Amino acid sequence: MDANPIIDVLMRRASVREYTNKVPSDETVEMIVRAGQQAPFAAQLGSLLLRRDREKNPFHAPLLFTVCADVHRLELVLARRGWKRVTSDAAILLFAIQDAAYMAENLVIAGEALGLGSCYLGAAPFIADRIAEEYELPKRVFPVVQLAMGYPAAAPRPRPRYPLSFSLFEDRYPVFSGGEVDAAMAVMDEGYLAQDYYREGAIPLEDGRPDAFSRRSYSWTEHMGRKWGQWLRNPEDLLGPLLACGFDLNEVPDNAEKQGSEAA
């Protein structure tokens, strides 16, 4: 296949955690944001917060974007047209998170194309109350992900990915054999070990089980096990921040109930 600059940008992307002192110009920031706005959307339910304080930003990045699921703006527009939302919070939030995710990816690609690097910070939903306080967010705006961005001070290599046979399923979803799962795990683990990615240490075990992994053997699949096998057990870890930002996943709008009864 012939070389393609957009594909090249996508294939070389890696998370950047070290940045130079160079500060992106206002024109560069505006171009990146405009590219973010051009992402596909359900109802433009993504909005952006920006902080340029290197002392506060993770990794001392010159830019920190917070990409939000923003239903507040939609409700303002609906009100101006004489409409009131009947879509449930659970449904509208799903579309808003999709819109925010598409916007975030466009920001990353645009930044890469302009010579900037970035790093996603996925903990934003769990500190949504703090973010809401910092930016004085109205209700119905929920931080989905944060994105540190700036000019890279290093050139990290792209991280391994599952083989296509474990990611692309044509016509039907397969039933994997143990050997196929092991082969896909080996691709990830061997790739991360080759990059010495976890040189700074492993996630501690919380349940008292013996640690069978050394620095030379601890890799991605065990790291995933310790994250998702130990953390965030309580749904309130997420439901609480959502409620604080004005989203109740069990909510049924009053007018939705009324319209449903009238239709019956």
| Predicted confidence (pLDDT) at residue 96 exceeds the cutoff of 90 | yes
Look up residue 135 and give its two tokens.
């930016």
d(CA 29, CA 111): 9
Instruction: Determine the pLDDT at residue 168.
Output: 98
DSSP 171: S
Nearest to 85 by CA among 248, 253, 244, 251: 253
Q: Is 262 helix (H, G, I), strand (E, B) or coil?
A: helix
| Predicted confidence (pLDDT) at residue 230 exceeds the cutoff of 80 | yes
Instruction: Determine the pLDDT at residue 146.
Output: 98
Local confidence band at 9 (pLDDT 50, 70, 90 cut-offs) = very high
5-156 CATH, one of 3.20.20.150, 3.90.105.10, 3.30.1360.10, 3.40.109.10: 3.40.109.10
Read off the pLDDT of each residue in 187-211 and give the average, rounded to a whole number.
92
Question: What digits encode the pLDDT tens for the residues 14-32?
Answer: 999 999 999 999 999 999 9
Task: List, in sequence order, every residue forming a beta bridge with 117; answer none if it has no partner.
Answer: 150
Domain boundaries, the chain: 5-156, 164-228
Question: What digits encode the pLDDT tens for the residues 58-95?
Answer: 999 999 999 999 999 999 999 999 999 999 999 999 99
Are the beta carbons of 104 and 147 closer than 8 angstroms?
yes
